[in-house]
Each structure stands twice: as C-alpha cells, then as structure tokens.
Amino acid sequence: MRPHPTHRTVALTAVLGGLLLGILDFIWIKFLPYPVAELGNSSAVWAVAAFGFGYWVRTGWVRAALGGAAALVIAVPGYYLAAALIQGDDWAILWAPTSLLWMSFGVLAGVIFGIGGVWARGRGWWQTVGLALPGAVLLAEAVINARRINHPNYGIDPLWDALIKVGLAILVVVLAGRTARSRLLALATALPLALLGFVAFRLAGFDGV
C-alpha cells in the first residue's frame, strides 16, 4: 500500500494541479471540436476534478477540502492567464468581479467534492454518498443541457453534451468504485442527488433556458 501524501505534497499538488486545470481547460475549449470541447465549459467537470483530488488524498477531510478548494480557486486565474497569453484577452479579467465569483463557486465545490473523494474511500453510507457525488453533478448538468434541446438559441446541439455527461457520470462511478455493489448503490444514490444538484444549478443561475 502506498503511503499517504504528506501535507507539503498535498499543498503543492493543489497549487500546480489547479493551475494546470485552468490552463488545460482553456486549451481544451479553444482547440477541440464540438461537442467534446463543451466539457471545458462544464462546472461539473471541475467539481469532478476536486473529487479526484480528494480521492487521491484518501484520508483527512480538512486536507481534501482545503486542497480541493485551493485547486479550483487557482484554476480560475490559470484559465484567464491562458486566455490572455493564447488569444490576447484583457489581463484585467484575472481580477474582474466575474473571476472572483467563479473563485467563490470554486471554494464551495472544492470543499464538497474534495471531501466526497475521501468519503469514496471509506465504508458504508459515507462511501456511497462520496461515490455518488461526481456522478450526480454530471447528471444534474446533463439535465440542464437536455432542457435546452430544441430551444431557439441551441437547437439539437445540447443533446450530445447531455449524452456525454451521462456517460461520464457512469464512467467515473465505475472507475472510483471498488466493488459492483458499491458502484450500483452509488449510481442509485446519484439520481436523487442529481435532482438536488439541478436545483442548485438553477438557483445559481446556470440553467440558461
């Protein structure tokens, strides 16, 4: 069994991982074709990244929460830094109110999903809920996209993004789960959690319909 990462390793991974997440996210959107490129515009994908961080940390809710939040907060200026360097966007966007808003969302998502990653390593209901969280947020965003199908501004395009999110929701639970039973329980639990996530997205103004 590999040793648990030290506090220093956790902190360094959060900082560098967050910066890399933001930069690669912009590059993904910029250069990959639709509908795959839309994953770069996904809040759920960033939340899953925080889950992955907590899953890697394995133990210590506080470490996972702080590291997950730090990674997502740092990812925001990383994204806008790439935008400024690659396509000449205004450098002022790094400290604009919209950036600060995304950072605040990053704190919330980083804490919740970072802890969820640690829970997924545990046992009982904590494990089930932890495993369900990344699937739930992807399913919630899939529903958001499905609501846009045939809307005058979107047409049929959101269907493909929704299908990709559903596929990823199943995949991440299957990969993170350690037994068939834990995976099935997590997928079942993800459905009601996805409903809560959908409501949260709408309250945050992410519906866009």
The mean per-residue pLDDT over the stretch 174-181 comes to 94
pLDDT tens-digit profile of 48-75? 999 999 999 988 899 999 999 999 999 9
Give me the helix-helix angle, 180-203 and 158-176, nearest 10°.
Answer: 140
What pLDDT sits at residue 205?
Answer: 76
Task: Judge whether 36 and 95 are in contact, CB under 8 Å.
Answer: no
Task: Judge whether 188 and 181 are in contact, CB under 8 Å.
Answer: no
**Predicted confidence band of residue 1 (pLDDT cuts 50, 70, 90):** low
What pLDDT sits at residue 208?
Answer: 56
- pTM for the whole thing? 0.93
Cα 208–chain centre separation: 19
The mean per-residue pLDDT over the stretch 69-88 comes to 94
Please say whether the dihedral angle defined by the alpha carbons of residues 122, 124, 127 and 129, taken in this order, is positive or negative: negative
Give me the helix-helix angle, 124-146 and 180-203, nearest 10°.
Answer: 50
